[in-house]
Amino acid sequence: MRKQHGDDAQVFRITGARTGLAEDVRGRQRRYVISMSIRTASVILAVALWNVERYVAVVALVLGAVLPYIAVVIANAGRERPPSLPSTFVMAPVRPMITPPPQSEDERAEPTGTPGERPGPV
């Protein structure tokens, strides 16, 4: 038996599926309506402030002129990319090549002494 607590319940996304098409279109429409509402407010602000604060009115008018283009580009941006899934291909580890240890100049020189005799400390 599992205990279900309201605050302990978590939902995990177990697939790489994208959001549904209807939800995606709804989100794009919402962003477009919000940006067009900001545009409408900026044009009304430009008209209301034209004789009071001309610089603010010009900035609001420029915002009202540029915002439709930005809103259309954002609305038509397309669906989000699906998250990358982990690779199912597992590469075998590369086995290191066994090589002799590097020798110094002294070790490369021919040892002096009789054969079979170990060199002593110097």
Q: DSSP character for 32?
A: H
Q: Give 42-91 pLDDT, tens digit per residue.
A: 999 999 999 998 999 999 999 999 988 988 887 777 666 655 655 566 67
Among 40, 39, 45, which residue's Cα sits nearest to residue 57?
Answer: 45
- Written as six digits, the tokens of 1 are 């038996």
Domain ranges in the chain are: 21-75
Q: Which residue has the higher pLDDT, 61 or 16?
A: 61
20 pLDDT higher than 50: yes
pLDDT at 116: 57
CA distance 42 to 62: 9
DSSP string, 46-113: HHHTTTT-HHHHHHHHHHHHHHHHHHHHHHTS-PPPPPPPPP---PPPPPPPP-PPP--HHHHSPPPS
Q: Which residue has the higher pLDDT, 54 or 97?
A: 54
**Angle CA 61–65–26, to nearest 5:** 120
pLDDT at 11: 65
Is this model's pTM higher than 0.85 or not? no
CB under 8 Å to 107, separation ≥6 — which residues?
none
